[in-house]
């Protein structure tokens, strides 16, 4: 462990002891957005084009539809402070909000339902520590949704939703503040990453029996005041192991069958959050930017299956990432769970042929998904000019 991390953890646990219920990745209630929310006129005409981006507006109560070449063109109200989202092959999006899981028909851009949580989480509020849904994932067969529900001041809950009946059919206890939820390739287990409990909870999807697995390559010193916690995970193709990045220095590789953790070296040297996998197994990891004076700035790590890495610098804080169906383009949200967020997306050409392009979109956009598979070839041509595309809206 580098000395700076040990010192940081010890200092934080003393400084934050009086406010431990609010400690974690940021302040209790983030300041207003640094940039105005991107405008998106209501658009109810036509079906949604392939390749559209869908982002959860954590700073508002909507999801925003974004043309990756032109910008935002529509939004749908879903509920307070939407966090994560998952989209099925049938075009339905499942959005974790403070009030419940909203169901959005992405083809017609309408909300068709909102499913209340079975777990009591208090009033619907905003900010990083609000109660309600955080990480969310769909079963491979699309029949169930698994959502990690944050219970302020207590352990979280994984709620299971039957996508046909649109109702909660079961719950299981998981760790504190479940930032992320993933599902095994065969659908037999769901994995909830507990940010404030340094763990991943494996939940059998048939019996809802649970197993807690600690993931703490730096240790757990500092408790709630530590920065060195798990955030997001990705299930590696082939062996089904979970990949959890830490600080741009260490990649924790968790075997969910044994609970053992191996650690591999990373190179970005910055606080890390969102993850995604390209079709060929390349791991994308969002570096949010510095949390200490010797951290590097925000970046996107592009980590090949053999462990070699390329680090793409980003302008300002970012949070989550999605990838186009052809694996050539990454979309990184600027929402961020801490202060410093901005209302937009950075578009990254993963081949490195063109520089990243910033695109105004949404209101503190956090979770993101790509609707179907079209890759924005024209965006690459636009990006070669070095100027962001100008949003134009369909009427």
For 370-385, the pLDDT digits (tens) are 998 544 443 433 333 3
pLDDT given for residue 367 in this prediction:
98
The answer as to whether 225 is a domain residue is yes
pLDDT given for residue 380 in this prediction:
37
* Stronger pLDDT, 123 or 376, i.e. the higher one: 123
pLDDT given for residue 373 in this prediction:
57
The answer as to whether 240 is a domain residue is yes
pLDDT given for residue 292 in this prediction:
83
* Stronger pLDDT, 26 or 235, i.e. the higher one: 235
Which whole number is the average pLDDT over 223-247? Answer: 95
pLDDT at 47 over 60: yes
Give tens-digit pLDDT for 264-293: 999 999 999 999 999 999 999 999 998 888
pLDDT at 216 over 50: yes
- How many independent structural domains does the chain possess? 1
Which whole number is the average pLDDT over 208-216? Answer: 98
The CA distances from residue 215 to 14, 78, 203, 244, in Å, are 23, 33, 16, 8
Positive or negative, the Cα torsion across 174, 64, 311, 270? negative
The answer as to whether 74 is a domain residue is yes
Give the chain as a 3 state SS string. Answer: CCHHHHHHHHHHHHHCHHHHHHCCCCCCCCCCCCCCCCCCCCCCCCCCCCCCEEEEECCCCEEEEEECCCEEEEEEECCCCCCCEEECCCCEEEEECCCCEEEEECCCCEEEEEECCCCCCCCCCCCCCCCEEEEEEECCCCCEEEEEEECCCCCCEEEEEECCCCEEEEEEECCCCEEEEEECCCCCEEEEEEHHHCEEEEEECCCCCEEEEECCCCCCCCHHHCCCCCCCCEECCCCCCEEEEECCCEEEEECCCCCCEEEEECCCCCEEEEEEECCCCCEEEEEEECCCCCCCCCEEEEECCCCCEEEEECCCCCCCEEECCCCCEEEEECCCCCCCCCCEEEEEECCCCCCCEEEECCCCEEEEEECCCCCCHHHHHHHCCCCCCCCCCCC
Give tens-digit pLDDT for 131-185: 999 999 999 999 999 999 999 999 999 999 999 999 999 999 999 999 999 999 9
Whole-number average pLDDT of the chain: 87
Least confidently predicted of 38-47, 359-368, 371-380: 371-380
Count of beta carbons in the 10 Å neighbourhood of residue 105: 16
Strand partners, 74: 65
pLDDT given for residue 46 in this prediction:
75
The answer as to whether 394 is a domain residue is no
pLDDT given for residue 293 in this prediction:
85
Least confidently predicted of 30-44, 246-260, 275-289, 298-312: 30-44
pLDDT given for residue 385 in this prediction:
34
* Stronger pLDDT, 374 or 297, i.e. the higher one: 297
Distance CA 258, CA 123 (A): 39
Distance CA 294, CA 291 (A): 8
What percentage of the chain reaches a pLDDT higher than 90?
79
Q: For the domain that residue 175 is a member of, what is the CATH number?
A: 2.130.10.10
pLDDT given for residue 97 in this prediction:
98
Which whole number is the average pLDDT over 212-222? Answer: 97
Q: Whose CA is closest to 320, among 364, 351, 358, 354?
A: 364
The answer as to whether 186 is a domain residue is yes
pLDDT at 8 over 80: no
The structure's pTM equals: 0.88
The answer as to whether 357 is a domain residue is yes
pLDDT at 31 over 50: no
pLDDT given for residue 32 in this prediction:
41
Q: Are 105 and 166 in contact (CB under 8 A)?
A: no
pLDDT at 221 over 60: yes
The answer as to whether 114 is a domain residue is yes
Band of the pLDDT at 360, cuts 50, 70, 90?
very high
Which whole number is the average pLDDT over 309-338? Answer: 96
The answer as to whether 323 is a domain residue is yes
* Stronger pLDDT, 374 or 387, i.e. the higher one: 374
Judged on CB neighbours under 10 Å (0-12, 13-18, 19+), 308 is exposed
pLDDT at 341 over 80: yes
Which whole number is the average pLDDT over 230-243? Answer: 97
Q: Are 71 and 391 in contact (CB under 8 A)?
A: yes
Count of beta carbons in the 10 Å neighbourhood of residue 141: 10
pLDDT at 343 over 90: yes
Strand partners, 243: 234, 253
Q: Can you give the residue range of the structural domain that contains 359?
A: 3-383
Distance CA 32, CA 152 (A): 22
């Amino acid at each position: 462990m580098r000395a700076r991390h040990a010192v940081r953890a010890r200092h934080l646990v003393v400084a934050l002891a009086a406010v431990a219920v609010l400690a974690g990745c940021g302040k209790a209630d983030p300041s207003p957005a640094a940039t105005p929310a991107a405008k998106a006129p209501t658009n109810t005409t036509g079906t949604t084009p392939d390749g559209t981006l869908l982002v959860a507006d954590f700073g508002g109560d909507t999801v925003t539809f974004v043309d990756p070449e032109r910008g935002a063109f529509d939004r749908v109200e879903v509920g307070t402070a939407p966090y994560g989202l998952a989209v099925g092959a049938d075009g339905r999006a499942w959005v974790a909000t403070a009030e419940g899981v909203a169901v959005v028909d992405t083809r017609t851009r309408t909300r068709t339902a909102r499913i209340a949580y079975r777990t009591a989480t208090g009033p619907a509020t905003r900010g990083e520590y609000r109660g309600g849904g955080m990480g969310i994932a769909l079963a491979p067969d699309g029949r169930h949704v698994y959502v990690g529900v944050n219970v302020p001041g207590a352990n979280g809950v994984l709620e299971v939703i039957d996508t046909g009946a649109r109702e909660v059919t079961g719950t299981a206890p998981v760790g504190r503040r479940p930032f992320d939820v993933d599902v095994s390739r065969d659908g037999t287990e769901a994995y909830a990453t507990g940010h404030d409990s340094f763990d991943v909870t494996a939940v059998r999807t048939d019996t809802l029996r649970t197993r807690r697995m600690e993931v703490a390559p730096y240790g757990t010193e500092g408790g709630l005041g530590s920065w060195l916690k798990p955030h997001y995970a990705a299930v590696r193709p082939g062996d089904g192991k979970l990949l959890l990045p830490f600080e741009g220095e260490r990649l924790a590789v968790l075997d969910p069958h044994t609970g053992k953790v191996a650690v591999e070296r990373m190179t970005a040297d910055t606080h890390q959050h969102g993850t995604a996998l390209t079709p060929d197994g390349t791991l994308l990891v969002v570096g949010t930017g510095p949390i200490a004076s010797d951290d590097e700035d925000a970046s996107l790590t592009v980590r090949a299956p053999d462990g070699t890495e390329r680090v793409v610098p980003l302008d300002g804080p970012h949070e989550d990432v999605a990838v186009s169906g052809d694996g050539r383009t990454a979309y990184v949200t600027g929402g961020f769970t801490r202060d410093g967020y901005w209302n937009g997306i950075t578009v990254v050409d993963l081949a490195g042929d063109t520089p990243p392009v910033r695109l105004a979109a949404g209101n503190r956009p956090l979770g993101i998904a790509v609707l179907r598979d079209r890759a924005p070839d024209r965006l690459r041509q636009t990006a070669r000019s070095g100027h962001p595309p100008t949003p134009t809206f369909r009427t």
